[in-house]
Amino acid sequence: MQQHATITEATFIHDANQRLARRPRGRPIHRMLVSFSVAYFAAALATDLAYWQMPDVMWERFSIWLIAAGLIVAGLATIAYAIDLAGGRRIDRPAWPRMVGYALAVLLALTNAFVHSRDGYTAVVPTGLTLSALVVVVLVLTALVARALTNRHQFGV
């Protein structure tokens, strides 16, 4: 019992400290939206790969809807980001490498949406597929760089 109370107390203090350090004004809205768009873009790469292996129009249609959905959610995420900034909510640090990486990925995805709107095979192979892969590569690199920088901050490297 005694032990349990201590743990709770310790956890609470730790949590409170961390929140205090990152300007505790609630959960950021944009973060969930960003995750959704990343999932859409990654899924589009999967359906592009499927189309490349077996050119059935179903896969191409999956891809363009996934990319379009990703772009719409990315647009919403941008609006949410502005609201989060204005409302003083917590923004993941460091902010600008994440922002630049994400913006680059969205720009590539936008280009990809146009390529995927072509008719037939060349809507995907080779340009569309390449762009879908690039979007995912940029997002993964952004996450890795952001994590590395976060760790450096935390451990004072």
Partner 1 sequence: MMHALENIRAAKLPRLAALVAAVAGLGLAGCDDHAGDPKMQIGANPILPAIQQYLMPPMRIAKAVGWGSDETPAATQGLQVHALATGLEHPRSLYVLPNGDVLVVESNGPKAPIYRPKDIITGWVQSFAGAKAKDANRITLLRGTNGDGTPEVRTVFLDHLNSPFGVALIGHELYVANTDGIVRYPYQDGQTSITAAGTKLTDLPGGPIDHHWTKALLASPDGSKLYVGVGSNSNVGENGIGAEYERAAIWEVDVASGAHRIFASGVRNPTGLQWEPETGKLWAIANERDEIGPDLVPDYLTSVRDGGFYGWPYSYYGQHLDPRIMPQRPDLVATAIAPDYALSSHVAPLGVAMYAGTELPANYRGGAFVSEHGSWNRTPLNGYKVVFVPFSAGKPSGPAQDVVTGFLDANNHARGRPVGLAVDRSGGLLIADDVGNAVWRVSSLKPGSAPKPAS
Taking CB under 8 A as the criterion, the residue among 9, 117, 137, 147 binding partner 1 is: 117
Distance, CA of 8 to CA of 4 (rounded, Å): 6
Among 42, 92, 118, 140, binds partner 1 (CB under 8 A): 118
- In the set 39, 42, 49, 125, which binds partner 1 (CB under 8 A)? 125
Q: Which is nearer to partner 1, 54 or 86 (CB)?
A: 54
Q: Which of 74, 113, 129, 139 binds partner 1 (CB under 8 A)?
A: 113
Structure tokens at 97: 């490498």
Interatomic CA distance for residues 49 and 129, integer angstroms: 7
Q: Using the rule CB under 8 A, is 31 a contact of partner 1?
A: no
CA distance 43 to 143: 17
DSSP 87: T
Residue 101 found at the interface with partner 1 (CB under 8 A)? yes
**Closer residue to partner 1, CB minimum distance, 29 or 111:** 111
- Amino acid of residue 131: L
User: What does the alpha-carbon distance between residue 142 and residue 127 come to, in Å, rounded to a whole number?
Assistant: 22
The label of the residue with tokens 């995912």 reads 136
Binding footprint of partner 1 on the chain (CB under 8 A) = 55-57, 60-61, 64-65, 68, 97, 100-101, 103-104, 107-108, 110-111, 113-115, 117-123, 125, 145, 148-149, 152, 157
